[in-house]
Structure 1
Amino acid sequence: MGHMYPTKSCDSVERLIKHAVYHAKIQNCQYGMYNLAGASGWCAFDYNTHADFGSGDRICYHGVCDIFRLPKFAAYFYKSQIDPKIEKVIFIARYLIPSFNEDYGDEVIVFSNCDEIDLYVGEKYINSTKPDRINYSNLPHPPFILKNCSWWEWGASNITSLKAIGKINGKEVAQHEIYPFGKPNKLVLKPDYTELIADGADCVRVVIELQDKNRQILHLSHHPVFFEMAGPGKLIGENPFSLEAGKGAIFVQAGREPGKIVLKAYVNELIPAEIIINIIAIQEETVP
């Protein structure tokens, strides 16, 4: 699918939604073909390529996640197919912006493994719906399609949020709420873990997000982020790093001495973000 419809995280909302919907349609078809063992959507992650392929920047944007393993809308379709006994999933595949209806008409698509969805604008109840088993009859957990959704009828600039509440057996089990985007409010660093082994190779991904006051990632941000690092290790990645769709990632690699790495990140006039990664002594015997 990705090869036929490559999609960047910073692409238009319409393309991000279509990318997810196309994956859902193809997987729905393969689930209905009982002589197939399965089908894998190409592919999980964007990846580096050669000059004669891809989008001209030597990157193939074929993934349901970007090159840093950060999800696009399509990733939430796949996540929604998980058994709700393992995890309850709900995701509104939209941005709450003034071009709401120009972006994808009057539909709101919600990816979820719940039985039913209630939609609210602010505190006002709008509608309830079941999974779309007419157009996605073969999927374990079809998308939810809500029609006649209008930015202007909902109140335009007075809209405070759009919330989907997922229910199973009539009981609320999950919710996802989106808001109109605000100004940059906070730079956030999210390490996958905060402890490394001092073997000179161990490393960790550190995700970077520029958020508004509602902790939403500012998807139109391409701000440069500057890093300072102190301690027994090194930073792997660009410095400064230009955000793509308000996010990105770098890596921190441990040195061979135990200690503490302090990583700071700066953007514009916001308060710097800071994390600490502990480097612990290697316990195993090593070859001299």
Structure 2
Amino acid sequence: TNALAHELDDTRVTGGVRCIKQSNLLEDVYTYNDFSHTGDNDGILHKNKVTKTNKGYMVTEYNGHMFPTKAFDCEAHRTQHAERHAKVLDTVASYDDVAGASGWCAFDYNTHKDFGSGDMICYHGVMDMFRNPKLAAAVYKSQGDASVVGDVLEVSSSMDIGEYPGGVKGDVWIYTNADCVRMFVNTTFIKEYTRDNSPYKHLAHGPILVDDYIGSRLVNEDHIPAEKAETLKLLLHAISKYGEKNLPLAVKLKALPLFISGTVNREKVTALYGKYIGNWGGQTITYRFEAYRNGKLVKTVIKSPGKPVHVSAQTTRSQLVEKNSYDVAAVHLKAEDENGNVNPFYQEAVSLKTEGALELIGPSIVSLKGGMAGTYVKSVGKTGKGALVVTDVMGNELKVPFSVKVQRS
């Protein structure tokens, strides 16, 4: 088979599919489906643990069924899904003897009874079936050059503490291909992040962990001495990540002098946590993230609670050209707040119809899953204008315009 492949195409090396270590190499490159990553270990096995060959080596599948993730899963699950992909990419990039890796997989898909959640849909993708991105897709897109993929800035959290048990938010990540990201709480500057802040040191633009929600406010607003403010920040952020009852011993020991010196007591720590991080029943907080490249602001993400949601529609092209057969365009539907953030728990239905020189492919009513859905329109042999009309549950109507040209050969 290998010889025949080279006879048919002598320009490319060959590879196969295997999930067995130390198996026979019948092709040019030893390829291996590596599903060894479980969240807290290396992203892939080292080559020498899989094969003794000196020939090329490539990972042909990873993640996938190890951590199925729906676009409408809870935020913590979607975030861990993204972290797992980042970990694999970072580990692959750290090995000189690994040619690369292709993950399982790009898109969710219809499947058999053994995958899915009883719905026979495989949720292994970094995008849903309509090619709408899950959070993990931002890990990949952020590795691209802005001249190719555009300016990327995504934040893993909605910053809503009610999404988490006990209001403990856990890790929040920034995905960007910019030079730096500046974070603000309301109008107060907190911190500037760069790629050097990422724990993923082998990626061009590794995900960046948000580790400061306070900045210099303890000094400026609460008049805590600067040297003690840093330790107090460490304590408050640890409470945010682990919860008050599960603090690591190292954090407790480091914070102990604050209590001994009378700088804080438990009541004051509770009050400061509520002011800067927890904010139960407090003033509405807006988080603003600004991405800069070459000193220029290129993209902004704003996170604020309780904003009205509207349905938006986007298509990669608005002109259809029919030649020997009908032409088709995909339309992506999203439930977004006024800041352009997708609401992953908006599951309402929208109705769809076409006008003019178009026809709908698929059902006329679709429900948004994870705040996203999609549909397709096609030409019908007529030159002219057309539109997809999207109507949400409140009766709000949105039209997506198209032009159609018929060019028979």
Alpha carbons of structure 1 residues 224 and 105: separation in structure 2 relative to 1, 3 Å: closer
Tell me which of 120, 136, 140 is aligned to 1:78. 140
Q: Quick check: 4-13 or 207-216, which moved more?
A: 207-216
With the length of structure 1 as denominator, give the TM-score of the two structures.
Answer: 0.88
Tell me which of 98, 111, 127 is aligned to 2:191. 127
Amino acid in structure 1 at the alignment position of 2:86: A
Q: How much does 1:107 deviate?
A: 3.0
- Number of the residue aligned with 1:40: 102
C-alpha contact (below 8 Å) 1:187/1:272 kept by paired residues: no
Q: Quick check: 44-53 or 244-253, which moved more?
A: 44-53
Within 5 Å, which residues of 2 pair with 1:140-179? 140-149=204-213, 152-154=274-276, 155=279, 157-168=282-293, 172-179=297-304
Tell me which of 56, 60, 76 is aligned to 1:14. 76
Specify every segment of 5 or more residues in structure 1 that has no aligned partner in the other structure, as ranges.
none
- Number of the residue aligned with 2:318: 194
Q: How much does 1:136 deviate?
A: 1.5
C-alpha contact (below 8 Å) 2:335/2:372 kept by paired residues: yes
Tell me which of 149, 155, 158 is aligned to 1:95. 158
Secondary structure of the 1:3 match is helix
- Number of the residue aligned with 2:177: 113
Larger Rg: 2
- Number of the residue aligned with 2:375: 250
C-alpha contact (below 8 Å) 1:21/1:74 kept by paired residues: yes
Alpha carbons of structure 1 residues 126 and 100: separation in structure 2 relative to 1, 3 Å: farther
Secondary structure of the 1:111 match is strand
- Number of the residue aligned with 2:65: 3
Amino acid in structure 1 at the alignment position of 2:275: E
Q: How much does 1:164 deviate?
A: 1.8
What is the aligned-residue identity percentage?
A: 30
Q: Normalized per residue, which structure has more strand?
A: 1
Number of residue pairs matched?
283
C-alpha contact (below 8 Å) 1:116/1:166 kept by paired residues: yes
C-alpha contact (below 8 Å) 1:107/1:148 kept by paired residues: no
Q: How much does 1:133 deviate?
A: 6.1
Hey, what's the Cα distance between the residues in 2 that align with 1:169 and 1:197? 40
- Number of the residue aligned with 2:15: none
1:23 aligns with 2:85: yes
Q: 1:31-76: per-residue Cα shift (whole Å, max 9, x none)?
A: 0110011112221111121223333212111111111111111111
Q: Normalized per residue, which structure has more helix?
A: 2
Q: How much does 1:101 deviate?
A: 5.7
With the length of structure 2 as denominator, give the TM-score of the two structures.
Answer: 0.63
Hey, what's the Cα distance between the residues in 1 that align with 2:111 and 2:321? 31
Amino acid in structure 2 at the alignment position of 1:191: T
Which has the bigger relative contact order, CA under 8 A and spacing at least 6? 1
Within 5 Å, which residues of 2 pair with 1:162-241? 162-168=287-293, 172-184=297-309, 186-199=310-323, 200-241=325-366
